[in-house]
């Protein structure tokens, strides 16, 4: 939970940083299997297979039998602060984006990661957003990675703050 304090200190107003050490509960991360089921069905049909070779189809074929194993993997990851080795690997492939294929600058790298790890990341990010919102740990001006907080809204706010200060 120390990383939550770090993120809070980076993305909050420094004049108003409460002591969140007192707010951190000792309860462990638990996952509802409905969330995992929902994430498996949300995987796009055109998602590429990562370095571990597990595809969307494999997860669907495993069906309900896979869900307890995925829940256990997620619990271990969150409660022990460990990350499976497959989640640290990616296959990087160049994707052509320009006209001249002989120029390296006309390619962009794309990371193909494990489908399971991508879904775990989504569940973890959702959990962290819930914790941050529940405990009011983010500065109100923090817009990045927050649903309902657009870049346009932040730019307008910054411009308004500059106009008001002058």
Residue 69 lies in a domain: yes
In our burial notation (b when 16+ CB lie closer than 10 A, e otherwise), range 31-43 reads beeebbbebbeeb
Please report the pLDDT score of residue 28 as a whole number.
65
**Sites in the chain below the pLDDT cut of 70:** 1-28
Residue 34 lies in a domain: yes
Please report the pLDDT score of residue 95 as a whole number.
92
Please report the pLDDT score of residue 123 as a whole number.
86
Please report the pLDDT score of residue 109 as a whole number.
92
Residue 41 lies in a domain: yes
Please report the pLDDT score of residue 1 as a whole number.
45
- Which tokens belong to 99? 């006209």
Please report the pLDDT score of residue 2 as a whole number.
46
Please report the pLDDT score of residue 111 as a whole number.
87
Residue 158 lies in a domain: no
Please report the pLDDT score of residue 3 as a whole number.
47
Please report the pLDDT score of residue 79 as a whole number.
83
Domain count of the fold of the chain: 1
Residue 87's domain spans which residues? Answer: 24-136
Please report the pLDDT score of residue 145 as a whole number.
76
Residue 143 lies in a domain: no
pTM beyond cutoff 0.85: no
Residue 42 lies in a domain: yes
């Amino acid at each position: 939970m120390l990383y939550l304090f770090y993120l809070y200190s980076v993305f909050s107003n420094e004049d108003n940083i409460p002591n969140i050490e007192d707010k951190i509960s000792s309860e462990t991360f638990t996952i509802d299997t409905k969330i995992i089921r929902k994430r498996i069905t949300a995987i796009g049909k055109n998602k590429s297979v990562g370095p571990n070779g597990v595809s969307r189809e494999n997860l669907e074929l495993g069906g309900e039998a896979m869900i307890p194993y995925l829940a256990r993997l997620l619990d271990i990851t969150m409660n022990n602060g460990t990350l499976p080795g497959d989640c640290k690997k990616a296959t990087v492939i160049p994707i052509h984006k320009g006209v001249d294929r002989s120029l390296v600058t006309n390619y962009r790298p794309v990371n193909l990661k494990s489908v399971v790890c991508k879904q775990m990341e989504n569940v973890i990010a959702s959990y962290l957003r819930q914790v941050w919102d529940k405990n009011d740990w983010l500065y109100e001006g923090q817009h990045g990675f927050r649903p309902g907080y657009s870049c346009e809204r932040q730019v307008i706010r910054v411009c308004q703050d500059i106009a008001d200060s002058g």
